[in-house]
Amino acid sequence: MYARRRHAYFAMMGLCIGLFVLAWAVVRLWSIPVAVGMCVVAMVIPPLAAIVANRRGPEDRWWDDPSGDAKSDEWWDELDGKRRR
């Protein structure tokens, strides 16, 4: 899943850069309002790309899941104030 999210992130960021460059290299020659609109759309893409890249999949390990290393898990539980069963 990590590779799929990474590919989606880079595709979205590539689209963002492409829109920005296309807007000010080509489209502005015919219509400045359309070029500005393209830049507004490009401005919205990076936060959405970050959300897509950082969302947790159903099979991803969450930060507080046990790691499988008993000593490490015991240490983290002690720091978090959790009692081991």
Read off the pLDDT of residues 5-25 as tens digits, 9 standing for 90 and up: 889 999 999 999 999 999 999
Number of domains in the chain: 1
**Phi, psi for residue 47 in degrees, rounded to 5:** -65, -35
Asked if residue 84 is part of any domain, the answer here is: no
CA distance 56 to 1: 9
Claim: this prediction has a pTM higher than 0.75: no
Find out whether 38 and 22 touch, Cβ atoms under 8 Å. Answer: yes
Give me the domain span that covers residue 47: 2-57
Residue 72, classed as helix, strand or coil, is helix
Asked if residue 80 is part of any domain, the answer here is: no
CA distance 36 to 54: 29
Q: Report in angstroms the alpha-carbon separations of 43 from 36, 52, 79.
A: 10, 16, 41
Asked if residue 79 is part of any domain, the answer here is: no
Asked if residue 85 is part of any domain, the answer here is: no
pLDDT digit string (tens) for 22-77?
A: 999 999 999 999 999 999 999 999 999 999 888 877 666 666 666 778 888 888 77
